[in-house]
Amino acid sequence: MPDLKAYLNDKNSRINAGLQNFIRENTRIAEAMRYSLMAGGKRIRPVLCIAAAETVGGSEADVMPIACAIEMIHTYSLIHDDLPAMDNDDLRRGKPTCHVAFNEATAILAGDALLTLAFEVLAKHHSGQIIAIIADAAGYKGMIEGQMRDIAAEGKLLSLEELEQLHRCKTGALIEASVISGAMFAGADSKQIESLRNYAGHIGLAFQVADDILNVEGDPAILGKAVGTDESRKKSTYPALMGLDKSKAFAKTLIEKAIESLNIFDVRAEPLRDIARYIIERKR
């Protein structure tokens, strides 16, 4: 996907520039925040926010603060997920995790600070409705509930329905909020919002299925983190419950449905279509 690669590179460079503008201090906590925030990564959530806005006629510049705030929230969640009390991971994006590079207390505070900064940015730039959508996705009914379910499920065999509910909270909620907040701020109508919600729901679940597959057969050098950790922690995953081949087929079906959800949109939705395909073709 040469066009998508150029699109993602362009958006990533602009998102990175935007993120750097929000943390300029030279304190230890600011250093830890920047360390994780600027460590690389796919920037899928902020790119989705921008692409959804552009799909309905909005501009990148107007929606950039929302996109940056969402990436701050995502990064905070990764810092906390990596902590010894959670997944106890030593590597993230090919670098030592925040608590390894600094210490556990600093990592906790860096995550807290990124979450707080995200809502400061949103409050300064956007409406209460946008803030509510993102807060709901990041909060105890969304991403945090998903992480809680993930912890509680270790060593247990979940049903496919339970696994889907877990991942729609843990991964899907913030992906959906990224798409919907960008489109809503750009003035999407109710029909457009519903189509984009369907799209986001399908790609959010496909993203997690793809992550589960990569944890089995991915290359650690490309992923920037260890593989095989789901099996060692006795986690219920799609490959564990369905097998690799059926998991890949399921992810492909989800992406086909996501792309079908965009039928009401014109060529401006092409980046969203390409991102959907990329989600299951990526190597990291």
Report pLDDT digits (tens) over 204-247.
999 999 999 999 987 887 777 778 788 887 889 999 999 999 99
Mean residue pLDDT across the chain: 94
Residue 283 in domain: no
Q: Tens digits of per-residue pLDDT, 239-269? A: 999 999 999 999 999 999 999 999 999 999 9
Which residues form the domain of 129?
2-277
Q: Which whole number is the average pLDDT over 54-70? A: 97
Check residues 2 and 214 and name the one with the higher pLDDT: 214
Average pLDDT over residues 73-101: 95
Per cent of the chain over pLDDT 70 is: 99
CATH of the domain at 76: 1.10.600.10
- Residue predicted with more confidence, 72 or 219: 72
Q: What is the pLDDT of residue 2?
A: 53
Alpha-carbon distance of 280 to 259, in angstroms, equals 13
Tens-digit pLDDT profile for residues 141-184: 999 999 999 999 988 999 999 999 999 999 999 999 999 999 99
pLDDT digit string, tens, across residues 88-139: 999 998 899 999 999 999 999 999 999 999 999 999 987 799 999 999 999 9
Domain count, the chain: 1
Across residues 24-36, what is the average pLDDT?
97
Domain-located, residue 210: yes
Q: Which residue has the tokens 């489109």?
A: 183
The reported pLDDT for the residue numbered 13 is: 96
Predicted pLDDT of residue 252: 97
The verdict on residue 81 lying in a domain is yes
pLDDT at position 101 is 97
Long-range pairs for 89-97 at CB < 8 Å and ≥24 separation? 89/225, 89/226, 89/229, 90/226, 91/224, 91/225, 91/226, 92/36, 92/39, 92/224, 92/225, 93/39, 93/40, 93/41, 93/224, 93/225, 94/40, 94/224, 94/225, 95/39, 95/224
Q: Of the candidates 55, 7, 1, 46, which has an alpha carbon nearest to the alpha carbon of residue 263? A: 55
Q: Are 282 and 42 in contact (CB under 8 A)?
A: yes
User: 188 in a domain, yes or no?
Assistant: yes
Has residue 249 been placed in a domain?
Answer: yes
Question: Are 276 and 199 contacting, i.e. CB atoms less than 8 angstroms apart?
Answer: yes
Residue 127 lies in a domain: yes
Q: Span 196-209, mean pLDDT?
A: 97
Q: What mean pLDDT do residues 12-29 have?
A: 96
Instruction: Give mean pLDDT, residues 59-72.
Output: 97
Cβ partners under 8 Å of residue 262, min gap 6: 55, 195, 196, 199, 269, 272, 273
Q: Is residue 104 assigned to a domain?
A: yes
Residue 198, in any domain of the structure: yes
